[in-house]
């Protein structure tokens, strides 16, 4: 057997071309699920074969928001909650560019909830990936709209008194054309789902449950990141095509994952063009210049 000589060049990772390698090491904690999702996003981008100059990533603020800083695409790390409206402007101004929005649950669905609802309703052509770690990781694990009832966080030491959102149900109800939920354990299915979502025209939404061992796991006796993945493994049931309102996240019994919605619907741009063509815009008031025309 021939032994290969060690190369003088540092090894190249297959995803390096999509990474701002000069920015590594990243800020994420050991065991964090965001890196796994990030890997799946890069895998999906590579699989889709799309022109990287026609692809942009927009994020908000939080641990997941930092993804935009590591990907070698046109990437925009905006304000807390405003990734979707920023992406809306970007997409409408540059329709040939595919726009991915990646952010956390707090960012997209608490502070950014209103934008989420309306972008789905308008069917803006965006692929939105929500990394759901059940808490505000970056600020130290406070209660979020995804925090399970009774879970302990620094702002709910006795247990969260609130019922969490079912994001997939919300997205579907608002008109998203593609809705799916996976966990950081389902890497292959997740990668496929991101590829599928990117191919959709319109508002596609993916929720990914990820371990946050530093901020959430440790306070809720979930053990290590690996234990959280095991927890997902034991409780996840794949129910493709079910009504998203039944896609419950019942952490004591089962976590429903799968692709719940995959429909076609005209996008904002389709409708905007159709409506304005039909209307054949009249000139605004006043109809004619008043008095003399300037020479």
Partner 1 sequence: MSDKSVLTGTWFMNGDHACCEGALAAGCRFFAGYPITPATEVAERMSRRLPELGGIYIQMEDELASMAAILGASWGGVKAMTSTSGPGFSLMMENIGLGICTETPCVVCNVQRAGPSTGLPTLVAQGDMMQARWGSHGHYEIIALSPSSPQEMFDFTIRAFNLSEQYRLPVIILADEVVGHMNERVVIPPAGEIEVVKRRKPTAPPGEYRPYQPDADGVAPMAGCGEGYRIHVTGLTHDERGYPGMNAATQEQMMERLIRKIRANRDSIIRTENVFLDDAEVVVVAYGISARSARHAVQEARAKGIRAGLIKLETVWPFPEELIRSVASRVRALVMPEINAGQMVLEMERCAGGACPVRMVAHHGGALIPPAKVLDAVRKALKGRP
CA distances from 181 to 12, 128, 237 (A): 32, 12, 11
Question: Is residue 284 at the binding interface for partner 1, with CB under 8 A as the rule?
Answer: yes
Closest distance of CB 272 from partner 1, Å: 7
- Residue number with CB closer to ligand SF4 (31 or 266): 31
Q: Which two tokens stand for residue 267?
A: 């996008």
Residue 244 binds ligand SF4, judged by CB under 6 A: no
Q: Where are the beta strands (DSSP E) in 48-187?
A: 55-59, 74-77, 98-104, 127-132, 178-183
Does residue number 20 form part of the binding site for partner 1 (CB under 8 A)?
yes
Structure tokens given for 280 = 């054949």
Task: Report how far residue 15's alpha carbon sits from residue 46's, in angstroms, rounded to the nearest whole number.
Answer: 8
Give the single-character DSSP code of 183. E
How does DSSP assign 77-95, residue by residue? E--TT-HHHHHHHHHHH-T
Selected binder of partner 1 within 34, 108, 115, 203 (CB under 8 A): 115
Binding at 10: pick from ligand SF4, partner 1, none (beta carbon under 5-8 Å per type): none
Token output for 262: 């995959």
In the shown chain, the binding pattern of residues 167 to 206 toward partner 1, with x for contact by CB under 8 A and - for none, equals ----------------------------------------
* Cβ atoms within 10 Å, residue 27: 12
- 142 binding ligand SF4? (CB under 6 A): no
Site string for ligand SF4, 53-82 (x = CB under 6 A): ----------x-------------------
Which string of DSSP letters, residue by residue, matches 226-264?
Answer: HHHHHHHHHHEEE-TT--GGG--B-TTS-EEEEEEEE--
CB of residue 178 to ligand SF4, shortest distance in Å: 25
Sign of the dihedral through C-alpha 66, 70, 71, 74: positive
The reply on whether position 85 binds partner 1 by CB under 8 A is yes
Instruction: Report if residue 132 touches ligand SF4, rule: CB under 6 A.
Output: no
CB 182 within 8 A of CB 189: yes
Per-residue binding string, ligand SF4, 176-215, x by CB under 6 A, is ------------------------------------xxxx
Applying CB under 6 A, the residues found at the interface with ligand SF4 are: 28-29, 32, 34, 63, 133, 137-138, 212-215
- The residue ranges that bind partner 1 (CB under 8 A) are 20, 22-23, 52-54, 56, 58, 68-69, 72-79, 81-82, 84-94, 96-97, 114-115, 117-118, 268, 272, 276, 279, 281-286, 289-294
């Amino acid at each position: 057997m021939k032994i290969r000589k060690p190369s003088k060049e540092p090894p190249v990772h297959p995803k390096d071309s999509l990474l701002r390698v000069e920015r590594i090491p990243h800020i994420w904690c050991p065991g964090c699920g965001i890196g796994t999702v990030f890997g799946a996003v890069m895998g999906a981008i590579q699989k889709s074969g799309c022109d990287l100059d026609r692809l942009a990533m927009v994020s908000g603020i939080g641990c997941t928001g930092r993804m935009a800083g590591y990907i070698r695409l046109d990437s925009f790390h905006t304000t807390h909650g405003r990734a979707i409206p920023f992406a809306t402007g970007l997409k409408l101004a540059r329709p040939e560019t595919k726009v991915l929005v990646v952010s956390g649950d707090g960012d997209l669905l608490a502070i950014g909830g209103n934008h989420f609802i309306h972008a789905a309703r308008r069917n803006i052509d965006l692929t939105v990936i929500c990394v759901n770690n059940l808490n505000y990781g970056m600020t130290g694990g406070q209660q979020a709209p995804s925090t399970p009832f009774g879970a302990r966080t620094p702002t709910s030491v006795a247990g969260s008194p609130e019922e969490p959102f079912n994001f997939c149900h919300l997205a579907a109800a608002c008109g998203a054309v593609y809705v799916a939920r996976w966990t950081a354990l389902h890497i292959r299915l997740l990668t496929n789902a991101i590829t599928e979502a990117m191919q959709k025209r319109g508002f596609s939404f993916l929720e990914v449950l990820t371990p946050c061992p530093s901020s959430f796991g440790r306070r809720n006796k979930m053990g290590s990141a690996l234990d959280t993945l095991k927890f997902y493994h034991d409780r996840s049931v794949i129910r493709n095509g079910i009504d998203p309102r039944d896609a419950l996240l019942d952490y004591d019994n089962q976590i429903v994952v799968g692709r719940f919605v995959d429909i076609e619907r005209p996008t904002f741009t389709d409708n905007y063009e159709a409506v304005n063509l039909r209307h054949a815009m009249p000139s605004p008031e006043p109809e004619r210049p008043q008095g003399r025309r300037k020479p």
